[in-house]
Structure 1
């Protein structure tokens, strides 16, 4: 292959531009098919849109169900605040705001190409880096989600990729400012999507062990510095939550509700007198009656009672959620055969390839004793755990998709005999 062409197709900036173009093209195609008055309202009819609306109207971080119910700790603050800024500039619940929010999501998603590329280059060379980035640029889930969900999903994917890259780079850093910046990055990530925090202690532990094994002085000092900076980033919002709700709520407090959504009598076909369906109206009314803390306490009690009294069923539900997390639905083969949509079938095939590629890539890294195999394994092993016990969808797992595609690229590169350059 000519060098100029090789340099072109392995250019991270070209791939990032292609990623942005793919996402914007999908958005442009979809928005032509949907009335703009629908796009101006329906995508915002969820917790992020409701809280952003309250912020834009000067009511603060509140009104999670678009009712005057007061302050909330339902979500982490960063993405609703970004959306509130869009509302203030382009109007609340307008097509212009929807347009701006989708473009912002497209930017975040395309930007993930850059840290993914450099992390992959460190792990497997330029061939793996370029392949990882191109897979991310054209991956159907990543192309669709910036339009499909006005949520922190695309931003979380970018932050997860940035954390992976920064973690790998820090193995050789002895500069305190690098570790402080790493702590700030973690602080931003947690204030965007606290679910990312599940692998924070493990990545810091891995960094500490790496430094000890390499004989680096002050091995523990820098990881502890990162941890301290991360903690300081999260303290102001946690204090805000304590002031409002008089209990410790680190960043976000909706876990009991999410746990109950995936663990209730609807899943027990033999339940007598249990709930038959869950409606937004019903939950909003109960929330308004009880207030947020009592509402969460009730959901926590109901969820744990269901789990403790349905042990066998709970294991089945976990198995179904694991399947849905990795393959898209609880019955992927049946759903693949029953759908008439070519796009849906492509998504199913892509999910299966990525699941197999992730496993194969990890096996190859460990067999080759790649020094970065452990952090690559931690992300797919740990991140989905919370969704195995609550409820899941492809958008929930999306923050780890860049890592999964990197591992898939490792598998493909090995299959086709690509050498590390």
Structure 2
């Protein structure tokens, strides 16, 4: 009996070890597949980058507490100092403004009230808040990928977002609404997917409220509201027109109610109907005037040019913006070829992160800039391929995602473009880029392993079903 006990005991111990190993691996997979864990890791990574940024860059330039946040910082300082929503320029104090929609300036003003106007602590706190917004974007990224394609695509996209250089840079370096705008647009896309074909009145009312909140952060995404809402409503429009009309009316009323207080404030203060903000005319002029070399003329911005700042203060905001609109429209009409050339440069800047041909820049820039250029090109190409692959597989999510990529940057082609302006749609591009890689990998797997086509499609397109 003693001789038989040893092997039996060893087998039992080995089986227990294998069982414990399997449980550990299962828990590890569960942890790394948890969106909450991804969000925590993303925030910790951003906190580490923030620590590096403050100790290597900010500490050298913030000793005199210079303003930060550009126009948003100036407006927030005015609010915190009791001067109201006013004075967007750092060189002059002016009257009331509608340069921005209100949410982010008031958020920054709250930080200033608690921690000091343009203080070192305020600079740190607002960047931590922006980093939290960026980290939380991992959740809608995962949800978009899982809903449009499958959980593997969603999880991979969320993990890539953790370390995506642009998501780290814009939430840490720029004190602006960029990170919050990105989170809001990603949440809107997830909600659009979940709403498709739904007849729940409360859900559509919530959709209107979400769009209203998003527009009060950054109204630029409102350009994609009609196509996204129409896509979500389409199954009902084909079969239950009366129900669809009721839902549209309810959602529209909630959206209108959400933006009405800000619109009323603007009408009372400026005597004009301004639902969102006033500075589009200035942005149009900065990108379309005789001084523009290739894309826009940032040195003419009134926050940088003392003469323009003085002119803005003398004329006040609305007349100044009206004059800039007239000048921009006149230039566009009289210089169509220049305008086309500027537009092409801005198109390149939006997608590639550069407003000149890569061949013109390559020999003059350092290695890290070359890596950024290559990364931007690959990212844009993969996202476009992802949209094409999704369309090829007749994936119903291909249409709204492609429309968002096509329509969201349109205004920037006419004013001025940058990867920061594009950043709110980067989560969509990332999901499509990951899908492109998954699709290509599945194709190669089919080519070299002998899997049938339907098995390969299942690898990339298993998803929650949305009504057609």
TM-score, with length taken from structure 2 = 0.84
Question: Which deviates more from structure 2 when the two are superposed, residues 166-175 or residues 116-125?
Answer: 166-175
Is the counterpart of residue 30 in structure 1 residue 30 in structure 2? no
Is the counterpart of residue 15 in structure 1 residue 38 in structure 2? yes
Question: Which deviates more from structure 2 when the two are superposed, residues 255-264 or residues 323-332?
Answer: 323-332
**Structure 2, unaligned stretches of length 5 or more?**
1-21, 443-458, 463-468
The structure 2 residue matched to 1:197, chosen from 222, 240, 244, is 222
Distance in 1, Cα, partners of 2:42 & 2:293: 43
Any conservation in 2 of the 1:332–1:348 contact (CA below 8 Å)?
A: no
The aligned residue for residue 57 of structure 1 is: 81
Any conservation in 2 of the 1:23–1:144 contact (CA below 8 Å)?
A: no
Distance in 1, Cα, partners of 2:110 & 2:276: 20
Any conservation in 2 of the 1:126–1:420 contact (CA below 8 Å)?
A: no
The structure 1 residue matched to 2:389, chosen from 364, 380, 385, is 364
1:348 CA displacement: 1.9
Distance in 2, Cα, partners of 1:307 & 1:268: 15
Distance in 2, Cα, partners of 1:376 & 1:164: 9
1:256 CA displacement: 0.3
What are the superposed Cα offsets for residues 282-337 of structure 1, whole Å, 9 maximum, x if unpaired? 22111011011110011001100111111011111111100000111112524344
The aligned residue for residue 431 of structure 2 is: 406
Distance in 1, Cα, partners of 2:460 & 2:300: 54
The structure 1 residue matched to 2:375, chosen from 335, 347, 350, is 350
**Structure 1, unaligned stretches of length 5 or more?**
none
The aligned residue for residue 155 of structure 1 is: 180
SS at 2:244's partner residue?
coil
1:180 CA displacement: 1.3
SS at 1:265's partner residue?
coil
Distance in 1, Cα, partners of 2:76 & 2:413: 29
1:268 CA displacement: 6.6
Pair 1:385–1:275, CA change in 2 (3 A): closer
The structure 2 residue matched to 1:313, chosen from 338, 346, 358, is 338
Any conservation in 2 of the 1:171–1:210 contact (CA below 8 Å)?
A: yes
Any conservation in 2 of the 1:266–1:275 contact (CA below 8 Å)?
A: no
Is the counterpart of residue 304 in structure 1 residue 325 in structure 2? no
Pair 1:216–1:407, CA change in 2 (3 A): farther
Distance in 2, Cα, partners of 1:79 & 1:22: 24
The aligned residue for residue 251 of structure 2 is: 226
1:73 CA displacement: 0.6
Distance in 2, Cα, partners of 1:409 & 1:336: 27
Distance in 1, Cα, partners of 2:267 & 2:260: 10
TM-score, with length taken from structure 1 = 0.94
1:409 CA displacement: 1.1
Distance in 2, Cα, partners of 1:141 & 1:381: 20
1:6 CA displacement: 3.3
Pair 1:21–1:348, CA change in 2 (3 A): farther
Question: Which deviates more from structure 2 when the two are superposed, residues 304-313 or residues 18-27?
Answer: 18-27
What are the superposed Cα offsets for residues 149-184 of structure 1, whole Å, 9 maximum, x if unpaired? 100000000001000000000114322211111111
Distance in 2, Cα, partners of 1:394 & 1:379: 16
What are the superposed Cα offsets for residues 50-91 of structure 1, whole Å, 9 maximum, x if unpaired? 000010011110111143311101111100000000000000
The aligned residue for residue 127 of structure 1 is: 152
What are the superposed Cα offsets for residues 317-367 of structure 1, whole Å, 9 maximum, x if unpaired? 11110000011111252434422242x333222211211111111111111
